[in-house]
Amino acid sequence: MPYKEKPIIKKYFTIGEVAKELGVATSLIRFWETQFDFIRPKKNAKGNRKYTQDDLKKLKLVHHLVKEKGYTLQGAYDHIKESKDSIDDTAEMVQSLKRIREFLVEMKNNLP
């Protein structure tokens, strides 16, 4: 039986990695930190931000609400605060639906 390597799951991401993942500028990530009090990445001794998987989920949710759904910053903030208990579920659902959409688009493009 061949040996299967476990995928490496990063614990921390740099602001550049987060910005690339979301397709936005690093300055926008820093701005969102000032607007959404639940986004607080850890900082190392040099002051560099280190984002966790949880931070990334929250930022993806903010990105989805603001950039894709057209919410204002205040509207996104209010929406997230009202549904605080379901933030993780919503963020995971959005990511899952995006993966399904990408899969379906890929299938469509591969049709003869």
Residue 3 lies in a domain: no
Position 10 in a domain: no
Q: How many domains, in total, are found in the chain? A: 1
Question: Does some domain include residue 43?
Answer: yes
Is residue 4 in some structural domain? no
Using a 10 angstrom Cβ sphere, with 0-12 exposed, 13-18 middle and 19 or more buried, the burial of residue 68 is exposed
Enter the DSSP assignment of 110.
T
pLDDT tens-digit map of 50-105: 999 989 988 988 998 999 889 999 999 888 888 765 655 666 777 788 888 888 98
Q: What is the pLDDT of residue 23?
A: 93
30: in domain = yes
Is the confidence at residue 1, as pLDDT, over 70? no
Dump pLDDT digits (tens) for 15-55: 999 999 999 999 999 999 999 988 899 999 999 999 999 89
Domain that holds residue 59: 15-109
**What would you report as the CA-atom Rg of the chain, rounded to the nearest whole angstrom?**
16
| Residue 34 belongs to domain with CATH number | 1.10.1660.10
Whether residue 32 lies inside any domain: the answer is: yes
Q: How far apart, in Å, are the Cα atoms of 97 and each of 4, 52, 90?
A: 28, 22, 10
